[in-house]
Each structure stands twice: as C-alpha cells, then as structure tokens.
Amino acid sequence: MKSKKDIITIGIVILLGIFLFISASKFIEARSPSKNVVVNYRKPILSELEGQTLPSFKLLLPDSSTLVDVSKTLPNKPIVLFYFGPDCPYCQAEISEIIKEMDNLKNIQFYLFTAYPFDQMRRFYETFQLSRYPNIITGYDYKFFFFEHFKIESVPGIAIYGKDRRLKGTFIGNISYKQILDLSEK
C-alpha cells in the first residue's frame, strides 16, 4: 500500500506533466502557421505613378522578330510587369514561386522582360520553360522603357496593375505570390 507521501508525489508529477503538455501545445500552436495568420507584405515604393494607366511599350519576343505591346493585353485581366536580371538569384526565386503557384495566378497576365543582352533573356526563358505558360510573355526591353519610366535601377522590379489597368503598386525585390494576387484583385 502506498503512503500518503507517495500519492502526493505522484499527483504532483501528474500535474506537472499536464502543465508541461499544455505549455508545449500552446508554444507549438503559436509557432505553427495558421489560416488566420496575417501575411507580412512588402511595402511598395512610391513612384508617383500609382493609379495611372498601363503604359504602352514594346518587347521583343524570344523568336527575335515579334514585337508585342504590353498595353494590348486582353481587357479585364490584371497585369504584372516583372523586370528581371537573367543571372539574379532573387529574380530566379521570384519566377520559381510564380511558376509553382501558377494555379493560383493563372488569371493574371505576366510580362517578364529584361534589358540585359537578348541571348541572356532567351536563356532565362528556356531555363524556366516559360513557353509552357500561356499567361507569361517573356521579352527584351530593347528601349529600356521600364528602367526609365519607373526609375527602378535594380532587379527584380515588379509593377502590378489591376483589371482596370491602373497601377496598384511598384516593388523592388521579391514579393509573395499572395501579395501579387491580392494587389491585382483590387
């Protein structure tokens, strides 16, 4: 038969175990992602172009003979202009995330382009197999329009336009696909 002291000791150990279990559960819950967690979005740079309509400029496509005007995109479709550097690891990470999340982003028209040499643009296009995505147009910004219009001097540079073709935000650096989706739907 157990003594009163043994019963009290066992009770204390059980209570401590329950307390530790509850504390550990709350700690794990606080650290694990939840559907109710607010995503921290990158702040757009202020370009003084916010609210303005999509400008008209042409890109030379990877076939080296076709020019496409970005302003001729189908109406009522959000547009993302993505200015990249072919060897930039941040640009590569951004396009990798866009491709990975394409099911969520399929209703957005993407224009990926660079002012780096044409052959480097073409290599980027082939490496990421961008021809597989009907909503991604890749090209060469041969007139350096994006750089001059948005005054963005580094890559990646991203400009997001809503269905109304008005600028919602301009960014330097990577942004999440959720931020692209949220801004483009405004």
Q: Residue 32: what pLDDT? A: 44
What pLDDT digit, counting tens, does each position of 31-88 carry? 444 444 445 777 777 678 899 999 999 999 999 999 999 999 778 899 999 999 999 9
Q: Provide the whole-model pTM.
A: 0.77
- Asked if residue 42 is part of any domain, the answer here is no
Tell me, yes or no, whether 159 and 109 share the same domain. yes
Contact 42, 159 (CB under 8 A): no
The pLDDT > 70 percentage for the chain reads 83
**DSSP state at residue 44:** P
- Separation of alpha carbons 107 and 181, rounded Å: 9
pLDDT surpasses 80 at 165: yes
Range of the domain at 20: 1-37
Tell me, yes or no, whether 72 and 21 share the same domain. no
Q: Residue 130: what pLDDT? A: 98
Whether the ω angle into residue 55 lies within 30 degrees of 0, i.e. cis, is no
Which tokens in the block code for residue 68?
């496409």
Q: Residue 88's closest CA among 27, 137, 31, 154?
A: 154
- Average the pLDDT over 8-34 and give the result: 60
What average pLDDT does the structure give for the chain?
87
